[in-house]
Amino acid sequence: MSEASCRRELELEIPTEEVSKKIESVAKEFARVANVPGFRRGKAPVSLIRRRFADEIKGEVLQTLVPERVEKAVAEQKLTPVSQPHVEKLDFHEGQPLKFLAVFEVLPEFQLGDYKNLALEMPMMDITEEDVAKTLEEMRERAAAFAPVEGRAIEDGDFAQVKLLGTPEGGGEPLRAESVLCHIGAEETMEPFNTNLKRAKTGEHKNFDVDYPADYPDAKLAGKKYHYEVEVLGIKTKKLPELTDEFAKDVSDAATLEELKKKVREGLEHQRDHRHKELLHEKVLAEIVKLHDFPVPESLVEQQMDVRLERVVRSLAAQGVDPRAVNVDWVALRRRQGERARDDVKAELIVDRIATAEKIDVTEDEVAHELEHMAGHSNESAESLRARLTKQGTLDRIKAKLRSDKTLDWLAQQATIKTVAAARLQGQASAADAK
CA-to-CA distance for 411 and 114, rounded, in angstroms? Answer: 11
Burial class (CB in 10 A: 0-12, 13-18, 19+), 389: middle
**φ, ψ (nearest 5 deg) of residue 237:** -120, 150
CA-to-CA distance for 78 and 67, rounded, in angstroms? Answer: 16
pLDDT digits (tens, 9 = 90+) for 189-237: 999 999 999 999 999 999 999 999 988 888 788 889 999 999 999 999 9
pLDDT at position 173 is 87
pLDDT at position 434 is 41
Q: Are 97 and 15 in contact, with CB atoms under 8 Å apart?
A: yes
Higher pLDDT, 204 or 321: 204
pLDDT surpassing 70 at residue 387: yes
Q: Are 179 and 161 in contact, with CB atoms under 8 Å apart?
A: yes
pLDDT at position 1 is 34
At 47, the pLDDT band (50, 70, 90 cuts) reads confident
pLDDT at position 56 is 83
Averaged pLDDT, 265-274: 95
Question: Which of 36-40, 139-143, 255-259, 333-337 is least confident?
Answer: 36-40
pLDDT surpassing 90 at residue 278: yes
pLDDT at position 294 is 92
pLDDT at position 2 is 39
pLDDT at position 43 is 64
Burial class (CB in 10 A: 0-12, 13-18, 19+), 80: exposed
- Set out the domains of the chain in order of their start, with CATH numbers: 7-105 (3.30.70.1050), 111-143+248-292+360-435 (1.10.3120), 145-239 (3.10.50.40)
Averaged pLDDT, 320-333: 75
Query: What is the average pLDDT value for the chain, to the nearest integer?
Result: 87
pLDDT at position 57 is 80
Buried b / exposed e along 329-357 (16+ C-beta atoms within 10 A) = eeeeebeebeeebbbbbbbbbbbbbbbee
pLDDT surpassing 60 at residue 105: yes
Averaged pLDDT, 288-303: 91
Q: Are 300 and 306 in contact, with CB atoms under 8 Å apart?
A: no
Averaged pLDDT, 264-285: 95
pLDDT at position 204 is 95
pTM, to two decimals: 0.70
pLDDT digits (tens, 9 = 90+) for 349-379: 999 999 999 999 999 999 899 888 888 887 8
pLDDT at position 3 is 46
**φ, ψ (nearest 5 deg) of residue 51:** -75, -45
At 324, the pLDDT band (50, 70, 90 cuts) reads confident
pLDDT digits (tens, 9 = 90+) for 156-199: 999 999 999 999 998 888 999 999 999 999 988 999 999 999 99
At 432, the pLDDT band (50, 70, 90 cuts) reads very low
Render 46-91 in DSSP notation, one character per residue.
HHHHHHHTHHHHHHHHHHHHHHHHHHHHHHHTT--BSS--EEEEEE
Q: Give 366-372 contacts, CB < 8 A, sequence gap 24+.
A: 366/402, 366/406, 367/398, 367/399, 367/402, 370/398, 370/402, 371/398
CA-to-CA distance for 227 and 209, rounded, in angstroms? Answer: 4
